[in-house]
Amino acid sequence: MSRKHWFFVLGIWAVLAAVAVAAPQKALIIDGQNGHNWKETTPVLKKLLEETGLFTVDVATSPPKGEDMSGFKPDFAAYDVVISNYQGDSWPEETQQALVDYVKGGGGLVIYHFACAAFPNWKEYNEMSGLGGWGRRNEKHGPYVRWRDGKFVRDTSPGRGGGHGPMQPFQLVIREPNHPITEGLPEKFMHVNDELYGWLRGPAKNLTVLATAFAPKDKGGAGEHEPLLFTVEYGTGRVFQNALGHTAKELKSVAFIATFRRGVEWAATGKVTQKVPDDFPTAEKASVRE
């Protein structure tokens, strides 16, 4: 090959490499049924991701509750990360299997807030999500994961899965600072008035708790440090769960915004390139974006 040809080949490679670096990750939000106001929260989640410039976001909306679900077959495999804002009727077996295959094969899955209550009797969903609540979950679904004496332990005592006291502001405490999602964040940071999910339970296999918040008994909690941000390795896939964010109002908290965006990027790529924002909350004060 002539010298000119070599320059041409190198040039093509340089362009391809630049495109590969700059290409946004493809994200898919699943909604359509949820005991929560998904019609309000999905557009906020979409915007939060698009604003980073790192993602393009599609939404797959299921048929309403009680209607024929047989045609609900999102093409998970076409995405780098799937975000569930779904809690409702069972999916067709084919759709369930497609999600399992997608995550097992290296896909990213993010479970947002009440999506942890979905599919209580779908074994693989419980394994992918690690911990969940409601839907009559109990000790048969797996242990609670408790932070006691400086380490995480599994508590198999019988009892409900999922619950919370009245809304309250609370402080998150990082329990794993050496994870891409939490790296560089302050050890403690405040979240706004929100539901403090507690008593989550599940198979908790290959689970890493990134952050907990203490739920005092006098505020309707278990008197435990509740896991609220955590990851699960499932096959070669990455799952991130963020239990914060009851309505669009709570999604204005920078504690949510930053951990959600970072968690979605990590689930999609295994890395986090986003800097910690300047308005990130402190140990004493929550931070809100209007």
Residues that bind Zn ion (CB under 5 A): 195, 246
Q: Name the residue with tokens 């980073």.
A: 52
Q: How far is the CB of 169 from Zn ion (least distance, A)?
A: 15
Q: How far is the CB of 194 from Zn ion (least distance, A)?
A: 8
Q: Nearer to Zn ion by C-beta: 108 or 161?
A: 161
The CB-nearest residue to Zn ion is 246
Q: Nearer to Zn ion by C-beta: 137 or 246?
A: 246
Q: Nearer to Zn ion by C-beta: 179 or 246?
A: 246
- Strand, coil or helix: 186: coil
Helices (H) and strands (E) in the chain, counts: 5, 11
Q: How far is the CB of 254 from Zn ion (least distance, A)?
A: 19
Q: How far is the CB of 157 from Zn ion (least distance, A)?
A: 25
* Angle at the Cα of 14 from the Cα atoms of 12 and 15, rounded to 5 degrees: 65
Rg of the Cα trace of the chain?
Answer: 20
Q: Nearer to Zn ion by C-beta: 146 or 246?
A: 246
What are the C-alpha distances in Å from 104 to residues 25, 84, 232, 250? 19, 16, 11, 32
First-to-last alpha carbon distance for the chain, in angstroms, is 59
Rounded distance between C-alpha atoms, residue 210 and residue 196, angstroms: 16
Q: How far is the CB of 195 from Zn ion (least distance, A)?
A: 5
Tokens found for residue 182? 């939490």
Alpha-helical regions (H) of 108-204: 123-129
Q: Nearer to Zn ion by C-beta: 80 or 195?
A: 195
